[in-house]
């Protein structure tokens, strides 16, 4: 037999409107925090979550059989995981600059490395500066001729 139930949040309890099959519920005692009294309910024997899962959800059916109650307690996690992330000291920041990274990657002389294998250099530069490969290709003569040599000054 099915029953219809209503839905609302009351504290940590979830009241939900639905149709429920009574065959999968077994009796239990449920504490009603608002009313302050105990009454017999039916607890579900079905659980889709594994036993070691960090979510302790409890389902129950009220004594009149018209409402399902679902309890979601706060999740438990270790204290170490609640600490803030350590931030580096900005005064002693030893991170490499782009120039240092470029010199270290291209090693000896950057210009000779770029001239030897330009397609490898373009890939390296695009990875190093997080840009597309098109940013590093040379501009052709067609476009260079159309650039104004002496652009007008701003007023």
Closest listed residue to residue 102, CA positions, set 110, 113, 94, 111: 110
Token pair of 35 as six digits: 């009313």
Q: Which domain holds residue 122?
A: 96-146
Convert the pLDDT of each residue in 82-139 to its tens digit. 888 888 777 776 676 767 777 676 665 656 666 667 777 788 778 878 888 887 877 8
Task: Check pLDDT > 60 for residue 25.
Answer: no
CA dihedral 102, 104, 108, 114 (to 10 degrees): -30
Residue where one domain finishes, among candidates 71, 86, 106: 71
Catalogue the E-assigned strands of 7-116: 8-10, 13-16, 18-21, 25-32, 37-44, 58-61, 68-71
The number of folded domains in the chain is: 2
Residues 100 and 43 in one domain: no
């Amino acid at each position: 037999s099915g029953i219809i139930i209503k839905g609302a949040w009351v504290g940590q309890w979830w009241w939900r409107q639905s149709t429920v099959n009574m065959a999968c519920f077994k009796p239990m005692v449920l504490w009603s925090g608002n009313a302050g009294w105990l009454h017999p309910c039916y607890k579900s024997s079905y659980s889709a979550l594994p036993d070691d899962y960090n979510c302790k959800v409890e389902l129950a059916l009220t004594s009149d059989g018209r409402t399902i109650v679902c309890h979601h307690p706060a999740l438990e996690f270790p204290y170490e995981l609640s600490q803030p992330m350590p931030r580096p000291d900005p005064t002693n920041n030893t991170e490499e600059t782009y120039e240092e990274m470029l010199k270290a990657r291209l090693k000896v002389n950057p210009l000779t490395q770029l001239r030897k294998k330009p397609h490898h250099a373009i890939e390296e530069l695009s990875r190093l500066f997080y840009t597309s490969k098109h940013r590093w290709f040379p501009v052709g003569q067609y476009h260079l001729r159309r650039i104004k040599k002496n652009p007008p000054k701003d007023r």
